Structure 1
């Protein structure tokens, strides 16, 4: 199995995030890379560095205004007297069709949905090469590979077209799907992270050319809270091309696979000829976020189910955080695809 990773993805090293009014150590650390790489290699993956596809494929998903913000906000932030090293907003607009401020503080509030996406000196470089990693994996399946794996870090599925959030800055899965679409393919995105892929949904919500499907812990009491309900089906040309399958907290392997069967039926009905799997390993029973209770063996069976689609698979790493079974879970999933 071909796999991709760029060492510059370690440049983003967030120190903290806010949860429940408390400063906590940020779990999206560079050390995740080593655990995930070892897990992929145990499944037979062979890693290479991605080539540079440039800004075009990223700008096909994200606005130039937002991309300018990501590239420039940290040095601008450092010019503020007394500013912390990480860009973390303290104010947000109550609606986004309002003034676009010149202030770095105001723009941070405009472009960062929450306090879980701190921007530091290496954030843009890491996010850029994370996106290039997803593109390299997408290109590989167009050249005949059945499965390719992108070790994307930082992750991406909470990033909207002009909004960071939830550890995410560039939406790697959406960038890969859009690039595949530009090559004449019909992609579906299947998001199996414990959190709803709200950014991915937002990017394609009014479009019918990319199917978006997400299985996740019910957002009524779980991040991202405001998106991910079953009633969210798409709008306009996208009506019926978004499927959310919220699951009760603590759902186990059997419950998860029952919902996955519904997801796979929808993907077949869409006629997708390539699947971007937004792979979150945080649905595991021992993950720090404790949303669902999928076992390590369960990841193998989930992967078996996805492989039954018989379509090329671009596996893009999303969540899954530091715990002893993180690498084993990736090994189980990738072996299940094979």
Structure 2
């Protein structure tokens, strides 16, 4: 007997039975579940638009000698609604070092669709957050086209709201860059906050708000725990360094005194002092040999250690016939370097 897709089933009388057997069953929707369609697990759960299908079954004994009878309930189908959720996280490991007047300075973010449906997101930048020491000038939002996580000028795509809003599948992320100009007035140690926000194009609001019929896959769209609107900030820190250079001279004359006569030796000392939180790159100190004096060969020192006059060897010193030079490389702020050399008055 076939009672499939009927909510009740009546068994007819059998000739050998002492009396007719009549049994009737009623089923509440969802009393037991038989899933006919597989689902996929994601961070936000089952993918929007998935049909959850279930059928209940009942089995009872037939007349003696007959096999058990099984009947199915009606099929109940529920379409999974879209959950609207997004997260924004700064990708910078710390404050991004910069300097006054710099352009195209980059802060980096990760935007992730934590909902369960494909969704487009509108992006916006705020470079005038209260509470920091200075505001940058917003230049552009850039989408990481090649997915390498690094801003590549001319390769990555300039973002225009409403034109190329990123469309992300469930659990998909995209790297986003904000480009800023640092004001020339920014001071050493000053910080600036740069915020990126993302909001679901379908809608946002209070968790649980419903946008009827607007969900991915044909169901409703429901605002998730993030409000379908999230933001996070990166920070710039200005790092500058300055240098002062002080030169002094000590004289030793041929008689053991300190007169400046022919034959007297002049001991020059150069003290370079850096200040600030930044670095001075490729710092080099040079000094011309004064007229009416002769450089005393191989007398250059750095921090008391002798340097050679040759420009072709590995150390930092050199003499080109008219001036001495010492290449100090990159020197952080807050340090000093002391150089000495000698000349003889002609």
Q: Which bracket does the TM-score occupy, shorter chain normalised? A: under 0.3
> Which has the larger helix fraction?
1
TM-score normalized by structure 2?
Answer: 0.19
TM-score normalized by structure 1?
Answer: 0.19
Structure scoring higher RCO (CA < 8 A, sep ≥ 6) equals: 1
**Larger Rg computed on CA atoms:** 2
> Which has the larger strand fraction?
2
